Amino acid sequence: MRSKSKTSLALPSIPLLKKNPIRSNLVRSALFMAVVLLGLSCQKEKKKRMLNLPRTDMASENLIPKPLKIIATESAFALDQFTAIYTSENASGFEEVGNFLAEKIKWKTDLDLPVNALAKETQQGVIYINQSDSLEINAAEAYQLYITQDSVVLNSNTATGAFRGIQTLQQLIPDAGNDTLAAYKVWPIATGKITDSPSFEYRGSMLDVARHFFSVADVKKYIDLLAYYKYNILHLHLSDDQGWRIEIKSWPLLTEIGGSTEVGGEAGGFYTQEDYKEIVAYAAKHHITVVPEIDMPGHTNAASASYPILNGNGKKAELYEGTHVGFSTFDTRKDTVYAFIDDVVREISEMTPGPYFHIGGDESHVTKKNDYIYFVEKVSKIVKKHGKRMIGWDEVAQADIDSTSIAQFWSSRANAEKAVSKGMKVILSPAKKVYLDMQYDTLSKFGLHWAAYIPVDTAYVWTPEAYEGVPLKNILGLEAPLWSETISTIDELEYLAFPRAIGYSELSWTTKENRDWEGYKVRLANQAPYLDRMDVKYYPSPLIDWKKSKYTYKEIKKD
Ligand code: ACM
């Protein structure tokens, strides 16, 4: 596809030529001369300003996840009120990426940058976001960022790659503008060339909205933060013993009854289908895929309390607000159960553009083993029928499922090995390394510690590329789940997720040769101004020398 060329930027569009070729050519030439002259005087003014800009070093910028390759040229591009953004206009999604960047620059600097508007007379610096078929950047989500004193050029094969690239660009913009050198503020951006692409294609976090419900606004804020660190997956744990959180039109009692409770007796809640679509669309705008999970055949008390016909544990299912696991199961030998699952998978799949459907499958302790296997095999066919690729917690690898299914390795190495022997892909979510609900240490607020305490360094210093014998070729990626037994507000959610989720973004994007704790620690310390400005109540780990910012951080209190 064609990208906008630099020389055509300031010229009026072609229709002028059609009316009167001679007059139009004159007008065009005059305009061209005017633009050239203006350009020359702008260049002079700009050169003056550039001489005054501080030297910058792209290689020591605080980028997370760290890019694959950085070549610094130790100069600066002046982002200011005269900068404009241009994107390939015929390539799908590129203009939206340009608009997104303009929005974020406005948020950070208060500058209003035009996107694909005619060049302003005084415009002196340009950001181009180009669709490029270059082979050098043909990996999914790859991009190249080339920053000189005169321009910022971001090249990518896809809008998703461009979107990842503008996160890097956002991170390169200094926290504060420099207003001592000119009559107006300038944000000097380090010059150089970045070539980047992710190690793993699946880079996710899971939110448990079942144990405690989180509003659409909370989920959107989490998406904002994930996108900034180049995550591409949000897994929503939509059902569990304590609550059913997604409207299913053909089974309305699921939310009417099953959505009314949560851990600790609080109010519960659920997403209407419109809410869910809103989350999916918001995620898509951030180039994030939503993975919906309906956990079964265990973790199904809320569903069975809503429709007792589903229940298979031989007891009356009552609504439950505690935190025990492993006591519920669907009746795996009843046709109604599979008719129910077919409806649920169909309705959710119809609203989910992403390729995955997660069936849970963990901790079905009261389901007989042969019933469990029978169940997973039947449900895997239902998921396939509705056009989705099945993901399940690692227990599902015990069933006879094919290599298109994916196992999420959270606990059992033996199950992970079974998955590998079936040729399945594995998502790494080992509880002792990446469960965001594990406490940081004995003193930290919120969270549990049944798998481990996970301080910020433990979260970062391990090697997913060589984890417990899972061959690299089987690893689809990494996902950090956040279970919500002990948290019920966005502040509490953020306390557990941040800063560890930032480290997991680097583990899943950056090669192991490019990672080291000492360097990461410094880059992480410098995330504080962004987190504070986003009003993120991160855990201020004493292992990190957090950078002070003008945005005050207020630590949350546990009541
Ligand atoms: C899990 O933590 N039960 C997947």
Half-sphere exposure (Cβ direction) of 414: Cα atoms closer than 13 Å: 2
Using CA positions, which residue lies closest to atom 1 of ligand 1?
362
Based on the fold, state whether residues 216 and 105 are members of the same structural domain: no
Q: What are phi and psi of 155, to 5 degrees?
A: -115, 140
Out of 196, 222, 256, pick the residue that ends a domain: 196
Intervals of the chain under pLDDT 50: 1-40, 120
Q: What CATH number has the domain bearing residue 417?
A: 3.20.20.80
Last residue of a domain, one of 148, 180, 196: 196
Do 305 and 190 reside in the same domain of the chain? no
Q: Cα–chain-centroid distance for residue 495? A: 18
Question: Measured from the CA of 429, which atom of ligand 1 is nearest?
Answer: 4
In a domain, 10, yes or no: no
Q: Which helix (H) or strand (E) holds 106?
A: helix 94-109
**CA of 410 relative to ligand 1 center, distance in Å:** 7
Say yes or no: 238 and 158 in one domain: no
Same domain, 154 and 295: no
In a domain, 321, yes or no: yes
| Total count of domains within the chain | 2
Residues 364 and 283 in one domain: yes
**Does residue 459 share a domain with residue 310?**
yes
Say yes or no: 372 and 478 in one domain: yes
Give the residue among 173, 200, 395, 369 at the shortest CA–CA distance from 295: 395
Mean residue pLDDT across the chain: 90
Please report whether residue 352 resides in a domain. Answer: yes
Domain with residue 131: its CATH number is 3.30.379.10
What's the pLDDT score for residue 136? 84
- Which of these three, 196, 230, 249, is where a domain ends? 196
Q: How far is CA 290 from CA 169, 220, 272, 384, in A?
A: 25, 12, 16, 17
Same domain, 38 and 157: yes
Residue 47 lies in a domain: yes
pTM to 2 decimal places: 0.91
Do 171 and 223 fall within a single domain?
A: no
Please tell me whether residues 192 and 271 are part of one structural domain: no
480 close to 431: Cβ distance less than 8 angstroms? no
- Give percent above pLDDT 70 in the chain: 87
Catalytic residue among 262, 293, 347, 363: 363
In a domain, 546, yes or no: no
Q: What is the Å distance from ligand 1's center to 429 Cα? A: 9
Q: What pLDDT was estimated at residue 10?
A: 31
Establish if 559 belongs to a structural domain: no
Same domain, 422 and 344: yes
Please tell me whether residues 35 and 117 are part of one structural domain: yes
Q: Is the CB of 372 under 6 A from ligand 1?
A: no
Decide if 558 is inside a domain: no
Centroid of ligand 1 to alpha carbon of 364 (angstroms): 10
Domain that holds residue 31: 15-196
394 close to ligand 1 (CB < 6 Angstrom): no
